[in-house]
A = this chain, B = another copy of it.
Amino acid sequence: MNCILRSAVLGSRGLWFPTLNAVRAMSTSGGPTPPFTTLSITHPANHITHVELHRPEKRNAMNKAYWSEMVECFNQIAEDSECRVVVFSGAGKLFTSGIDLMDIAGDLLQPKGDDTARIAWYLRHIISKYQNTFSVIEKCPKPVVVAVHGACVGAGVDLITACDIRLCTQDAWFQVKEVDIGLAADVGTLQRLPKVIGSRSLVNELALTARKMYSDEAKSCGLVSRVFPDKDSMMAGALEIAGEIAGRSPVAVQGTKINLLYSRDHSVTEALDYIATWNMSMLQTQDLMKSAQAALEKKSPKDVPFSKL
């Protein structure tokens, strides 16, 4: 199996030689990385950061600590010039069961305030804060590859729709759960899911009935771009994709992420104007010359040393 994984990661073009152990080690980290209590941060390879949601004994439920740690974590990653790409996954038996209802109940079920308007004011503040937990993933210019195994429920869907590339295992399933607990999903799913997959009928059905969607449907509707037989192979696949990204010019890669997000929310005309304005400086990078030369010499961009960004 060793050689299988190696070829999975190596692919046709690359330089990757992760052993089975390496990938397994990645899948089962020792625990959260202080000062975080819900996230484990490792660096499985050059320029790649692995963020693992790490509350396996709680089915990776998102508690209060998680909401602020995500912001802290991705702000650090945005500033870390060594990091060029992120792999995000969950520790233990499943990706995440969604919000930790018990931990969070006070905020939502007994909100503070002297009257309805003041409670509303407080709730809006809380919702915005929670929304930001996932929006930081988009604000971070490094691409985020998310790898889902087992269940991805409720806020888990909000989370993965804010990531750039979605992978899952054969046994994965997804559930837009919020309607089951009496609310319209307000931290990202209703806003991003319709822009992430192409079937509006399916989006509506998932959001209105809270039914589970399994990996094959997730693949055919385009929610995930690849399905893997198990978590090990998925993590190897995630590493491979991350390796492909890490090996390219960070000026090109991060400009691509930023402009893809811009395009999502603007007309084509607006988006063309924006990238022309963007690239009038970015095309002055040395990476362009270096990459063009490598291309002419039939070398891979991954053999080119790029400066930090």
CB-contact partner of A256 in B138, B208, B251, B259, under 8 A: B208
Query: In the bound complex, do residue A182 and residue B275 qualify as a contact, i.e. CB atoms below 8 Å apart?
Result: no
A149 interface residue per 8 A CB criterion: no
Query: In the bound complex, do residue B128 and residue A180 qualify as a contact, i.e. CB atoms below 8 Å apart?
Result: no
- A149-181 CB mask vs B (1 if < 8 Å, else 0) is 000000000000000111000000000001111
Stretch in A23-31, A42-50, A53-61, A287-295 with 4+ CB within 8 Å of B: A287-295
22 residue pairs of the A-B complex, CB under 8 angstroms, read A120-B282, A121-B309, A123-B279, A127-B283, A135-B272, A180-B291, A182-B301, A183-B283, A183-B287, A184-B258, A184-B275, A185-B259, A187-B272, A191-B268, A192-B268, A196-B201, A197-B198, A198-B221, A199-B221, A201-B222, A201-B225, A203-B260
Q: Which of A166, A182, A253 has the most CB of B within 10 A?
A: A182
* Distance of A211 from chain B, by nearest CB (Å): 7
CB-contact partner of A182 in B123, B201, B249, B281, under 8 A: B249
How many copies the complex holds: the figure is: 6
Task: Kindly list 13 other residue pairs between chains A and B, CB separation below 8 angstroms, not including A116-B285, A184-B258, A186-B276.
Answer: A13-B211, A121-B309, A127-B280, A181-B292, A182-B248, A182-B291, A191-B259, A191-B263, A199-B221, A208-B257, A221-B222, A274-B274, A281-B281
What residues on B are CB-neighbors of A120 within 8 Å? 280-282, 284
A190 interface residue per 8 A CB criterion: yes
* Distance of A261 from chain B, by nearest CB (Å): 8
Stretch in A2-10, A62-70, A88-96, A107-115 with 4+ CB within 8 Å of B: A107-115
A124-B280, A272-B131 are contacts. A117–B251 as well, Cβ < 8 Å?
Answer: yes
* Distance of A126 from chain B, by nearest CB (Å): 9
What residues on B are CB-neighbors of A181 within 8 Å? 252, 288, 291-292, 295, 301
A207-B256, A252-B178 are contacts. A268–B195 as well, Cβ < 8 Å?
Answer: yes
A41 interface residue per 8 A CB criterion: no
Report Cα–Cα, A155/B119, bound state, in Å: 28
* Distance of A198 from chain B, by nearest CB (Å): 2
A118-B251, A197-B198, A252-B178 are contacts. A207–B127 as well, Cβ < 8 Å?
Answer: no
